[in-house]
Structure 1
Amino acid sequence: MSTPTRSRAAIVTRRAFLTAGASVLALGGAAEAVNAGLLPGRTTLYRVLGLDGPAGTIPHVGGVPVVSGSFRSAARGGIRTGWAVAAPVGAKDLPVVVALHGYGGTHASLFGQELGLDRFLAAHLDAGGKPFAIVSVDGGDRYWHPRRDGDDPAGMVMKELLPLVSRMGFDTGRLAFTGYSMGGYGALRFGWTLGADRVRAVSALSPALWTTAGAAASIAFDDAADYAANTPYGRQERLTGIPVRIDCGTGDGFQTAVRTYVAGFPEAPAGGFEAGGHDMAFWRREAPAHLRFLADALHR
């Protein structure tokens, strides 16, 4: 009798199977290390391992109308600056939420097929939620604070955008801020710089935060002195009297810095940490809760 021989294809298949098995085991170990904060690349590994939870989806409803335009911003050196306002038809004297985009975004990133706040607002209203207007504007990639070169996106919001919105008939005396990533940081900064006399609420989705100047992205601050002047750490008490909500995904690269920031509040803000990455999938999932939070604060 002849001895059966394994084909080359069978050998390759077995080798691939063993390699795949080893990879699964390695990934399992990596997941534990990532959970313990021992490995870099947290965002990528959480996504690959399916640890980010379900993706949020834009509601399948018609959005509230969005009006848009642009102006030359003196505060930003004369740059053409786009803006948009989403508000229910016929409503007058509505309170205002200024929604700030993240790095690489524009005013349009808050609406339409990206974050979709115009549709989330429509769904909020359909469910009986209290009405308000959402305003967005181009801030560039300057992290929503005055920069050494004279570019001042924060001044643009206060001196140019809000007066424009007020002339449109909205009530900027009832004002709140929200934003994601860089915009989440910006929303917090507007809160602590303006205070409770001016701001009714602040909500931040995955705010881009760094605990030291050396850890910060080079574009976020001009230098260590600029970081010190604009870091949120040590300024949590300045938000006293302002309802604050902060949500961040456990697979987000910023989550450790955000946890440190949240721990510095005299009283813990609303929100928390749950499965999610630093992406639209997480921000869309959290959007309905943030709109309800802002509406309740604006109408209190």
Structure 2
Amino acid sequence: MPMINRRDVLSLGLRAAMVATAGTAAASLLDTPASAAPPAPTYTTGSFPSAARGGAVTNWAIARPPGRTEPLRPVILLHGKDSSAATVMSMGVEQFLADAVRAGLPPFAMAAVDGGNGYWHRRASGDDAGAMVLDEFLPLLAAQGLDTSRVGFLGWSMGGYGALLLGSRLGAGRTAAICAVSPALWTSPGAAAPGAFDGAEDYAAHSVWGPAGLDGIPLRIDCGYDDPFASATEQFIAQLPSPPAGGFSPGGHNAQFWSGQLTSEMTWMAPLLAA
């Protein structure tokens, strides 16, 4: 199951986006009087030992629009298998936020955290990346000055499943929106990829099938026609009480498809975060 990786992201031309970001910053410095205070940092990183993950050192990153210091609501970015917070953020998140707010979207933050390969739920090993997000990472974001009274979830593949699972567990009162991209969904425990669940009971305990948990939460699902999860995703959508936003479009299970959806996904989510 191919995941976002740095080589794929850079091959999509994100080097150019990073160069453009640097150029914009340089031009801004030239136009700013020496006495003016520099804008607040738009990118913050750190790590913490996660009790929910057995003490694992867990890296995180937060991006804000340039110069914005107010308590913004965050979109929690959940990575796919064999990926990380740093790789997700390397998709040019800072430049995207700058462009989005400049274009008139309500300002928001984007935050990513390492979750390992445990599919964002408690495993037999004791590792529980889902509890880490809800019980440790959200309070950390609040301590970093973000408004976690309502948050969004955006995830890819394993993270797409995680976005559905954690958004539903946080509930409609605090989950402003969920965007699941190429979600890793299986219609039965026997069909699941090795390592995704600890068995049939684990699959059932952490199932996202059925509308109850997602009731009242705005939902968007994007998937490529050639994605190996397309059939299960189609069946998942069919059993929802109403069609989610997004849909199917040309593409596969890869960074090219994922990066191509990001602008429309965040344009959809930003007003829901601000509501």
Cα distance in 2 between the residues matched to 1:119 and 1:105: 21
Residues 226-253 of structure 1: CA distance to partner in whole angstroms, max 9, x if unpaired? 001112222x232121110000000101
2:68 paired with 1:90 = yes
Instruction: Could you tell me which runs of 5 or more consecutive residues in structure 1 were left unpaired when the two chains were aligned.
Output: 1-40, 44-54
- Alpha-carbon shift at residue 128 of structure 1 (Å): 1.4
- 2:143 maps to which of 167, 191, 201: 167
* CA pair 259-273 structure 1, distance change in 2 beyond 3 A: same
- 2:84 maps to which of 106, 110, 122: 106
Alignment partner of 2:191: what SS?
A: coil
Alignment partner of 2:186: what SS?
A: coil
Alignment partner of 2:76: what SS?
A: strand
Identity %: 46
Instruction: Could you tell me which runs of 5 or more consecutive residues in structure 2 were left unpaired when the two chains were aligned.
Output: 3-10, 23-40
In the other structure, the counterpart of 1:116 is: 92
Cα distance in 2 between the residues matched to 1:66 and 1:272: 31
* CA pair 240-178 structure 1, distance change in 2 beyond 3 A: same
Residues 68-123 of structure 1: CA distance to partner in whole angstroms, max 9, x if unpaired? 111111110001110000012233110111100000001112112xx333322222
Cα distance in 2 between the residues matched to 1:194 and 1:271: 22
| Partner amino acid, structure 1, of 2:188 | T
Q: Is the 8 A contact 2:150 2:173 kept in 1?
A: no
| Partner amino acid, structure 1, of 2:251 | G
In the other structure, the counterpart of 2:124 is: 148
User: What TM-score do you get using the length of structure 1 for normalisation?
Assistant: 0.78
2:170 paired with 1:179 = no
- Alpha-carbon shift at residue 57 of structure 1 (Å): 5.6
User: What TM-score do you get using the length of structure 2 for normalisation?
Assistant: 0.85
1:1-300 aligned at under 5 Å gives the runs 58=14, 60=17, 61-62=20-21, 65-88=42-65, 89-112=67-90, 115-234=91-210, 236-300=211-275
Q: Is the 8 A contact 2:134 2:170 kept in 1?
A: no
Aligned length: 245
Residues 246-265 of structure 1: CA distance to partner in whole angstroms, max 9, x if unpaired? 00000101100000001111
* CA pair 57-292 structure 1, distance change in 2 beyond 3 A: farther
Q: Is the 8 A contact 1:96 1:170 kept in 2?
A: yes
Alignment partner of 1:177: what SS?
A: strand
Alignment partner of 2:252: what SS?
A: coil
Cα distance in 1 between the residues matched to 2:224 and 2:108: 27
Q: CA RMSD in A?
A: 1.9
| Partner amino acid, structure 1, of 2:73 | P
